[in-house]
Chain A
Amino acid sequence: MTLLNHKVCDIDAAIAEIPDGATIMVGGFGSPGTPFALLDALLASGQRNLTLIKNDANEPGIGIGKLIDAGRVKRLITSHLGLNRTAIDAMNAGEMEVTFHPQGLLAEKIRCAGVGHGGFLTDIGIGTEIAEGRHEINIEGCTWAIEQALQADVALVHAERADRYGNLIYRATASNFNPLMAMAADRVIAQTYHIDEPGDLPIDTIHTPCAFVSQVVQVARASSQQGVRPHAL
């Protein structure tokens, strides 16, 4: 783990350490919480054969959509691709392998890895197509499916605020998978708009304690080029 006083680093240096073939968790549900700057740096850095774990595939041409369009994603573990037509096309053409999990199970598999457990028991999806291939066990008359924890080499997360030691605060619905992923990877890279000094963030508002975070990079506010576009209600 990175020492507390060595976590702030340059975005390109942080991304350059990721090898080809890495398994990378990416925070965000749609645009909010997606670490757009880290993903742009990953695109520029050139790693290939990536396995990405993200709730969704963003929208065409933004966020992980850029990596998918560039043919850099070998496998995607997700809950749905409904808003990204080009990701669906890549899946249907066999260019990208896609594994779907129900959204709450995906979250829980990541949470489970983050708390150091190997898996959990659930009754979600028993008797449906989702259950195919899962191990089931019977305990005291109840049937449960075994779900394994899902862990990664790297997590890329977005936080509204951070301090130099790596304490993180998320904002509004930009939280989503970020705090779970920030505990579930060997190396956790957090992007944030502003890096405070230790002691500046009120201690009872910190969502992710710094012990889980490896590196912190400061980025500019998300731009329209990174995909933050208005949606009509």
Chain B
Amino acid sequence: MLSDQQRMLTRAAREVIDGQIVNLGIGLPTRLFHYLPDDMNVLVHSENGVLGCRPRHEGEAPDIDMIDSGGAYITTRAGASVFDSATSFAMIRRSRVDVTFMGAFEVDQEGNLANWKIPDKFSPGIGGAMELAQKVARLVVLCSHNDKYGNPKILTRCQLPLTASRCISRIITEKAVMDVTPEGLEVVEIAEGLSIEALREATDATLLIDESCLGRF
């Protein structure tokens, strides 16, 4: 039996196309690393200045000069390169990174993302999130459907300070896979065993659901 997070990560890994350049945000998205098959031609970008990260094998000694943006000791795969921070963000701003996966405090049906600041509670700075959210060609949010108090994180309109506006392509939670469309959030897939009513109950946004083509994951 997979945990909710394992199910989300397994589903998220299917978003990555052979040949792509991918950025993984801090937290849950970083774990996607372990769900990408070794034989794929995929280079993982990390904004501290590396294209082609790979997790260390168990027992592989850490190289103290080789970390990802979350501070974990990593190594590189064939085809990798290292570069300075200006070049790293040039790659992001020029949309040469094909897809990025990020966590979220709140997302909304217009595709707005809030994931960097909770006024008076959490404001350690934005890091590279703003440029990634604004400029990467495809942004997939990977987050829990509700916060720890059970409140919806999928909203009609974000309340927290935005990381970037109208930037999200797809949202993957433990309950659903949703695409941002001009009419609202189109539910592409719903979790195995979850009713549409329960999904609507847990969400504070307009959900477009066509039962005839609704997938399960």
Q: Which residues of A contact B (CB under 8 A)?
A: 29-33, 55, 78-83, 88, 98, 100, 102-105, 107-108, 110-111, 123-125, 127-130, 160, 170-180, 207, 222, 228, 230-233
Q: Which residues of B contact A127 (CB under 8 A)?
A: 162, 165
Is A103 in contact with B131, judged by CB distance below 8 angstroms? yes
Residues of the A chain whose Cβ atoms lie less than 8 Å from the Cβ of B82:
172-173, 175
Q: Is the interface of A mostly helix, strand, loop or mixed?
A: loop
Asked whether B37 is an interface residue with its Cβ less than 8 Å from the other chain, the reply is no
Additional A-B contact list (20), CB under 8 Å, known A130-B130, A173-B46, A233-B72 = A31-B64, A32-B48, A32-B66, A33-B65, A79-B126, A80-B127, A100-B125, A103-B127, A107-B88, A110-B86, A125-B134, A173-B65, A176-B48, A176-B49, A176-B84, A176-B85, A178-B84, A230-B62, A231-B62, A233-B74
Q: Report B-chain residues with C-beta under 8 Å of the C-beta of A175.
A: 49, 82-84
The answer on a CB contact under 8 Å between B126 and A102 is: yes
* A-B complex: 3 closest residue pairs judged by Cβ atoms: A104-B89, A80-B125, A107-B85
- CB within 8 Å for A177 and B84 given contacts A83-B71, A103-B89: yes
CA distance A32 to B117 in the complex (A): 26
Task: Report yes or no: A108 in contact with B86, Cβ–Cβ below 8 A.
Answer: yes
B47: CB under 8 A from chain A? yes
Complex CA distance for A33 and B84, rounded to whole angstroms:
11
How far is A113 from B67 in the complex, measured between Cα atoms in Å? 27
Given contacts A103-B85, A108-B89, A233-B73, contact A32 B125 (CB under 8 A): no
Contacts of B89 in A (CB 8 A): 103-104, 107-108
Give the contacts of B63-112 with A (CB-CB under 8 A).
63-67, 69, 71-74, 82-86, 88-89, 92-93
Say yes or no: B125 contacts A81, CB within 8 Å: yes
A100 to chain B, nearest CB (A): 4
List, in ascending order, chain A residues with CB within 8 A of B115's CB.
none
Q: Which residues of A contact B16 (CB under 8 A)?
A: none
Cross-chain contact of B126 among A55, A100, A173, A231 (Cβ < 8 A): A100
B56 contacts A173, C-beta separation under 8 Å:
no
Q: CB-CB < 8 A to B64: which residues of A?
A: 31-32, 222, 228
A233, B55: Cβ atoms under 8 Å? Answer: yes
CB distance from B111 to the nearest CB of A (A): 13
A176 to B50, CA, bound (A): 9
Tell whether B215 is near chain A: CB-to-CB under 8 Å: no
Measured in the bound complex, the distance between the Cα atoms of B92 and A128 in whole Å is: 19
B72 touches A231 (CB 8 A): yes
CB B131 to nearest CB in A, in angstroms, measures 4
Q: A128–B65 contact, CB under 8 A?
A: no
CB distance from B205 to the nearest CB of A (A): 21
Give A217 Cβ to nearest chain B Cβ, in Å.
19
Decide if B124 is an interface residue (CB 8 Å cutoff): yes
Other-chain residue from B66, B84, B128, B164 in contact with A103 (beta carbon distance below 8 A): B128
User: Do the beta carbons of A171 and B164 come within 8 Å of each other?
Assistant: no
Whether, in the assembled complex, B144 has its beta carbon less than 8 Å from a beta carbon of chain A, the answer is: no
Indicate if the CB atoms of A179 and B84 lie closer than 8 Å.
yes
Q: Are B92 and A104 in contact (CB under 8 A)?
A: yes
B 118-147 binary contact with A (CB < 8 Å = 1; else 0)? 000000111111110011000000000000
Is B23 interfacial (CB-CB < 8 Å)?
no
A55 shortest CB reach to chain B, Å: 7
Interchain CB contact under 8 A, B48 and A129: no
> B78 → chain A, closest Cβ, in Å?
16
